[in-house]
Structure 1
């Protein structure tokens, strides 16, 4: 994969000596997390409690992907010194091309999935993330972090406030047909009501874009990511606990809804299908995938800490991280193949075996392909298309950006 973008979204292969291996490795871990959520049981059948894979990866893997997408956008558009003028215009138009290609792959995968699918595909949402990122591509860290906070606070309010007036849910994995026949409903799902709604997810992407405008090679910055990330995750969970159990939020949720205590407890672990609208106290929960302000903050904190740790250890043990970093270099290809394999729905009886098969095949393929051919196959298609577009805009060969 080119640049530092997840899901095969970079402009060019950056020279090995210039790569931040920690970013690639973090992306590889995020891919493993999504595989685990798709393949492994979400709960323990004997106790009924959430499984280790659910507790470790639910919500946080997708958040880490989006954060790294923002980092990649920054690094391929000038890094600490954002491009200007026609070069920035080329970056923006190249990003449109990238977004469209990623969305096309996502829509195609939707056609392979059943009505009750084995996985919810993030790629079409990525296309929307990138389109929404275009106006922010030139901004500096301070403006990006402030914008991220606004998205993280306002988007959940919009999700709850507008939900009753929005069109009905289209499908778990929208297709070309959905987009053409129900454009409004598909748009509202991609922006606000879907599994990975773009407006709240812009929080992660804009924070990543801001981080990519900093010097991520400095140990001080890397350590600060870990400290801030851990602190933010603990803060978000603590505030949620206080609001629910010390300030009466739990009882208000019971009173406002028709749920009993057992049902509410389940919702607080697994999350509701859609964020309920009976009371604003629902915004106090921090359950994965609910996309409330505190859920976003908790997942953002985990993502920052993971990125910081990998950036710290990358220069020291980069060779040992090769399976992870190689997977992180071609997540578009690997994620697409993973979803296509899931569409056959042959994995339900032996989830742990199939998880190990998917993981082993992905790691071995990634290492072998990267060492022999460089970019992954789908990554090559995307980056070639983007570079061709940039050349047309610039009127000359597009130079690679290394941040």
Structure 2
């Protein structure tokens, strides 16, 4: 069995990008914050908000790769995606029970899988337009709904017990939680658009890299103009007191006492500029990773192995943080090294990650009855769908 994923639709660059997302989220979970001195503060600042956005774009990209092969078996593919999303969400609800310090993202991702079902086989141009428009406009809709209904941010994470209150659970996942699906599903739509690009070609990867760089820079620049010369920051200080240049710290949504909050680009603010900037940096990372030549990627086998089983690595990382209060580069290094060694060994000896295997097997079985009607069966080693 080859160590690196080599099946149809599998791209080593995508696994490398996914590893960047995993390690970036580890950094945000472990390091003390962007005001920490030296490398710890720099790493946290680079990863904060961008790593989780990269995760979401890659989830959409992988979703596009695996469902593209099933274009003639759409009912079966949709059934598999729904079950996959529900299983990922279930893992997320269970992980919250571990009482770690992590704002677990998986329940939101699982719901987002279901939200993007109608767009799985749209053409690239339409998906790209929809993805950018979604990221730009969904925060405006969220702001209006939350303001009209007087909804407040939900800092208590959903758990299995939340299933007994489906209305409140849906409100949290869609609008008021840490990663509100109303906005975050746009990342997956943009990832679906990227899945249509020829990422194996230099031209295709460069286009994704260039588009991402332009989008990220434009979002940051326009936000800065609105907050600075446009007077947004001054207006916000009248309602919120002293603020930093980007606003303040957020946990998924901005307050609804001023429309100027929608102009900030701060991580996890859920504004148009936050979502567009982090989507742009995600595209840039994917493009750059896919541009790496084989002479380089052959030395990155452990990194690609880690990226091939993100659900397993993320779950193990969250569980390992339960009950700890260490915020240091040393702990981050320990988590990364253990993940690299464990993922490489598992990939070499077994293949797909354990949670990826379970989720993939159950999801495929759910779509099997519909797939048998056409006589088609999946082949090869599919791309990882789970974040």
The normalised TM-score by structure 1 is 0.87
Task: State the partner residue of 1:327.
Answer: 306
**What does residue range 359-374 of structure 1 map to in structure 2 within 5 Å?**
359-374=336-351
Give, in angstroms, the shift of residue 306 of structure 1. Answer: 0.6
Task: State the partner residue of 1:159.
Answer: 142
CA distance in 2, matches of 1:146, 1:321: 34
Give, in angstroms, the shift of residue 236 of structure 1. Answer: 1.0
CA distance in 2, matches of 1:98, 1:122: 15
Q: CA RMSD in A?
A: 2.3
Give, in angstroms, the shift of residue 65 of structure 1. Answer: 0.7
CA contact (8 A) 2:154 2:178 kept: no
CA distance in 2, matches of 1:294, 1:240: 6
CA contact (8 A) 2:58 2:191 kept: yes
**What is the aligned counterpart of 2:17 among 17, 26, 46?**
26
Which string of whole-angstrom CA distances, capped at 9 and with x for unpartnered residues, describes residues 220-251 of structure 1?
A: 11111121211211111111111111121112
Give, in angstroms, the shift of residue 112 of structure 1. Answer: 1.8
Give, in angstroms, the shift of residue 392 of structure 1. Answer: 1.4
CA distance in 2, matches of 1:169, 1:45: 27
Task: State the partner residue of 1:66.
Answer: 56
**What is the aligned counterpart of 1:351 among 319, 323, 328?**
328
Give, in angstroms, the shift of residue 272 of structure 1. Answer: 6.3
CA contact (8 A) 1:120 1:172 kept: no
Give, in angstroms, the shift of residue 158 of structure 1. Answer: 2.1
Give, in angstroms, the shift of residue 46 of structure 1. Answer: 6.9
Give, in angstroms, the shift of residue 169 of structure 1. Answer: 5.1
Task: Confirm whether residue 175 of structure 1 aligns to residue 159 of structure 2.
Answer: yes
**What does residue range 1-400 of structure 1 map to in structure 2 within 5 Å?**
15=6, 19-44=10-35, 51-78=41-68, 83-84=71-72, 87-113=73-99, 117-164=100-147, 165=149, 171-180=155-164, 182-255=165-238, 257=239, 259-261=240-242, 264-265=243-244, 268-271=247-250, 274-343=253-322, 345-346=323-324, 348-349=325-326, 351-395=328-372, 396=375, 398-400=377-379
CA distance in 1, matches of 2:264, 2:34: 20
CA contact (8 A) 1:90 1:390 kept: yes
CA distance in 2, matches of 1:235, 1:170: 30
Which string of whole-angstrom CA distances, capped at 9 and with x for unpartnered residues, describes residues 135-187 of structure 1?
A: 1112111221222123212211122112241655555421111121x211211
Which string of whole-angstrom CA distances, capped at 9 and with x for unpartnered residues, describes residues 44-85 of structure 1?
A: 3579x9921221101110111111111111110126xx603x
Is 235-244 or 308-317 further displaced after alignment? 308-317
- Unaligned stretches of 5+ residues in structure 1: 1-12
Which string of whole-angstrom CA distances, capped at 9 and with x for unpartnered residues, describes residues 240-271 of structure 1?
A: 1111111211122123x1x222xx22872533
CA distance in 2, matches of 1:204, 1:341: 28
CA contact (8 A) 1:191 1:198 kept: yes
CA contact (8 A) 2:30 2:326 kept: no
CA distance in 2, matches of 1:95, 1:15: 22
CA distance in 2, matches of 1:142, 1:279: 34
- Unaligned stretches of 5+ residues in structure 2: none
Task: State the partner residue of 1:10.
Answer: none
CA contact (8 A) 1:64 1:300 kept: yes
CA contact (8 A) 1:71 1:209 kept: yes
CA distance in 2, matches of 1:58, 1:350: 15
CA distance in 2, matches of 1:223, 1:249: 35
Between the two proteins, the alignment pairs up a number of residues equal to: 376
